[in-house]
Structure 1
Amino acid sequence: MKIPFTKYQATGNDFILIDNRSGAFSFSTDQIAQLCDRKFGIGADGLILIEQHPNADFNLNYFNSDGSQGLCGNGSRAGIQFASTLGIISNKTSFNAYDGLHDAELQPSGNIRMRMMDVHEITETGGNFFMNTGSPHLVCFVDDVQHYPVFDEGRKLRYDKQFKEGANVNFVELQPNNTIFMRTYERGVENETLSCGTGATAASLAASRKGYTSPITVKVRGGELSIEFEQSADASTFTNIFLNGPAKKVFEGTFEF
């Protein structure tokens, strides 16, 4: 079976994009792992199938490299950019993802501004913050994230028994001028990635508990993101959350199983 694909990256988070509006393709967990394998496949953090949806411009079906599913903020921006090249959307879109409907806008700068789901609960545990921004995230504030052992410490916390479904783990350093620097150990990839959109969202909401205000600039190893949000007077609920950042085509080709 020959499968046409396009490779995208969004601040260093990389994805395989496949036009599956015909419904011709379905992949087993093993096949997804093979496609995403950096030695024996194309290589990516995840696989995205663009599909038909009755109530939106398209359905974005996202798989981590281990075959598990969830919302991926960076992957969503890549999917939006891909959908634009397919002629499915113009500069504004509504699409369905793992956690429901989202709207987004392709901006003149080339960045994509995507609405995230509201967040109604943030749990503080041992000085860290846990929440769901489409995927479960733990945010840990550290002093020197550049030299922090993200893989070792992230792997420990990712499997902590207090997180029933596991968690993505974000290590965050507070910097001046409403800016944070974040590194993430991603569940489903089981490694550090260069960026994480849902993680950047979680880190920004957690930073608001430290006095940071919208918009927050999030530096990641793959570039820079910006998070906008509004919060209730008691800071318990966050609404009008937007993830802003780029997504770029890298190459296209054909994969053969």
Structure 2
Amino acid sequence: MPEITFTKGHGTGNDFVIVADPDGQYDLSPEQVAALCDRRFGIGGDGLLRVVRSRAIDAGAAALAEEPDAEWFMDYRNADGSIAEMCGNGVRVFARYLLDTELATLEPGSTLPIGTRAGVKDVTRSETGFQADLGRWTAPAAEPLVRAKGLSVPRPGMSIDLGNPHVVVALASEEELEGLDLTVIPILDPAPEHGANVEFVVPSEPLVKDGVGRIRMRVFERGVGETLSCGTGTVAAALAVRSWAGESAPNSWRVEVPGGTLGVRMFPTEEGEHVALSGPATLVFSGTVALA
């Protein structure tokens, strides 16, 4: 069996197997990805980040058309091997890998464009690590009912699209949040065609402190299960709570997840409101592994 080099990284506990494939030589099957991400028989991770040049992957053509300087493409796979459009924690870890391996540079005040299946994402340095401009967002009209083990009755969810689909559910208390059993897949009715990540949120008390909104969140990621953090899910949760809170709600949010704390910021642009995610990105170790 051939061996490949890998690096393990994480963003607030949302962990990834990183495989460098600049010229697109690896055609990793879903089964191979799932084996690499297996926590008992593989390296272990919530997903896999393949580091490939945009020109070397079919999906990179759209990224280069949008931004010719987007040399690198984040080919993201869920832990079960399925393809996902975007990962907010993953794009920060991806940027960290590019910089630490000198595949790219990022001078103070400049941006690093990274291609994804949800468009080009601009990454900058921040006080906590990196900030990724996730671009525009939409709120589809669908409001599915969400059934989850540990909730006595179904709860309505708010749909948020950040290039990947989310459903955000408001809970009444910390006890409800802690009482969820997310080893069981939440049921959405009606079920989105391509599934969705489901975020369960509780506001802090007070909700706003020093002009910053504060919430806690747990998440079930499609194709993965419960994770310690979900970047785009964090953003979706902040957007939903801001909508529920009304016009006086702030545009800066601090979101606590089981793996740490992330920052979310909404800001206007010429093409409409964008949303940015900031937080740490850490590379843990590197090695080689036999590829089945």
TM-score by length of 1: 0.90
Distance apart, 1:4 and its partner CA: 0.4
| Structure 1 residue 67 corresponds to structure 2 residue 78 | no
Structure-to-structure mapping, 1:152-191, within 5 angstroms: 155-157=185-187, 160-175=189-204, 176=206, 177=209, 178-189=213-224, 191=225
- Which of 125-134 and 72-81 deviates more? 125-134
Where does structure 1 lack aligned partners over 5 or more consecutive residues?
A: none
Distance apart, 1:88 and its partner CA: 2.5
Cα deviation, 1:129-164, whole Å, max 9, x if unaligned, reads 112112110000112254231416x7132x543311
Greater Rg over alpha carbons, structure: 2
Number of the residue aligned with 1:133: 162
Number of the residue aligned with 1:120: 138
Tell me the secondary structure at the aligned position of residue 273 of structure 2.
Answer: strand
- Which of 18-27 and 246-255 deviates more? 18-27
| Structure 1 residue 33 corresponds to structure 2 residue 64 | no
Distance apart, 1:198 and its partner CA: 0.6
Q: 2:99 aligns with which of 78, 81, 84?
A: 84
In structure 2, distance between residues paired with 1:106 and 1:20: 25
Q: Which amino acid aligns with 2:214?
A: T
Q: Which amino acid aligns with 1:29?
A: P
Structure-to-structure mapping, 1:1-257, within 5 angstroms: 1-54=2-55, 55=64, 56-70=70-84, 71-91=86-106, 92-107=111-126, 109-123=127-141, 125=143, 127-142=156-171, 143-144=173-174, 145-151=176-182, 155-157=185-187, 160-175=189-204, 176=206, 177=209, 178-189=213-224, 191-211=225-245, 212-230=249-267, 239-257=273-291
Aligned residue-pair number: 249
Runs of 4+ in 1 over 6 A off after TM superposition: none
Contact 1:160 1:166 in 2 (8 A): no
Q: Which amino acid aligns with 2:275?
A: I
Tell me the secondary structure at the aligned position of residue 26 of structure 1.
Answer: coil
In structure 1, distance between residues paired with 2:194 and 2:115: 22
Q: Which amino acid aligns with 1:86?
A: T
Contact 1:150 1:192 in 2 (8 A): no
Q: Which amino acid aligns with 2:239?
A: L
Distance apart, 1:167 and its partner CA: 1.1
Tell me the secondary structure at the aligned position of residue 151 of structure 1.
Answer: coil
Tell me the secondary structure at the aligned position of residue 96 of structure 2.
Answer: helix
Q: Which amino acid aligns with 2:27?
A: S
Contact 2:252 2:264 in 1 (8 A): yes
Distance apart, 1:128 and its partner CA: 2.1
Where does structure 2 lack aligned partners over 5 or more consecutive residues?
A: 56-63, 65-69, 146-155
TM-score by length of 2: 0.80
Contact 1:115 1:242 in 2 (8 A): yes
Structure-2 change in CA distance of 1:238 and 1:169 (3 Å): farther
Cα deviation, 1:5-41, whole Å, max 9, x if unaligned, reads 0000100000011111022222111111100000110
In structure 2, distance between residues paired with 1:148 and 1:229: 31
Contact 1:150 1:183 in 2 (8 A): no
In structure 1, distance between residues paired with 2:123 and 2:253: 19
